[in-house]
A and B are shown apart, each in its own frame.
Chain A
Amino acid sequence: GQNIDQPTEMTATEGAIVQINCTYQTSGFNGLFWYQQHAGEAPTFLSYNVLDGLEEKGRFSSFLSRSKGYSYLLLKELQMKDSASYLCAAMDSNYQLIWGAGTKLIIKP
């Protein structure tokens, strides 16, 4: 079956670094997406990886290892506004997104 696993909740301190992991199993693979979702709002796109390696975009970076079915989202210099849920989604061979349950990130001062 198809499955996405990510931690339910993480806590970090303002100014620190946090890594949110995601493992996936899909029928075929056409890339891995990370979305940010604040409470009561729709998800917003953060990153897309389809090749192995690290993609850096400002304070956020995303890593993919296709052989391990593993990705992580790295957030640096954490700000209070980064408190949100982070959704990992893998695209299968039919270009359907398979969603993880999301990781709620709590930032403390």
Chain B
Amino acid sequence: GAVVSQHPSRVICKSGTSVKIECRSLDFQATTMFWYRQFPKQSLMLMATSNEGSKATYEQGVEKDKFLINHASLTLSTLTVTSAHPEDSSFYICSARGLEPSLEGEQFFGPGTRLTVL
């Protein structure tokens, strides 16, 4: 099956620093990757959609200068949280959609990254 990895799985940082999260599709080429944020006991909130080689499309209310997304290749997308603050502490999950999905539009999820900003 399609496997998506995320690194790191957990990160703790000081307020004001930047954190980079990597999302990789390990055994398929992902034309589209999605970045989600999930606060405790809430559903997934789509932050942005990125297509390989083009700028990401951000959802309303998500600051693109704060959450930098780079989808440089068909297997890698990165999310950088710049100048992180405690309110950015959350569970960040990426998902990927392949060139030839087994199901139309199916997304394969990474294991998530738990970010804690002190």
Contact = CB atoms under 8 A, between A and B. Distances in A.
Contacts of B105: 30-31, 91, 95, 97
Contacts of A30: 104-105
B46 A42 contact: no
B37 to A, nearest CB: 12
- Interface range, B side: 20 to 34
Nearest to B42: A101
Contacts of A99: 43-46
A42 B108 CA distance: 10
Interface string B75-118: 00000000000000001010000000001111111111010000
Nearest to A104: B41
Given A31-B105, A91-B105, A42 B43 contact: no
A96 B44 CA distance: 13
A99 B43 CA distance: 7
A41 B46 CA distance: 17
- Interface range, A side: 20 to 34
A43 B34 CA distance: 13
A106 interface: no
Contacts of A48: 103, 106
A41 B42 contact: no
Given A87-B44, A101-B43, A42 B103 contact: no
Contacts of B107: 97
A105 interface: no
Top 3 nearest A-B pairs by Cβ distance?
A: A42-B109, A101-B43, A42-B112
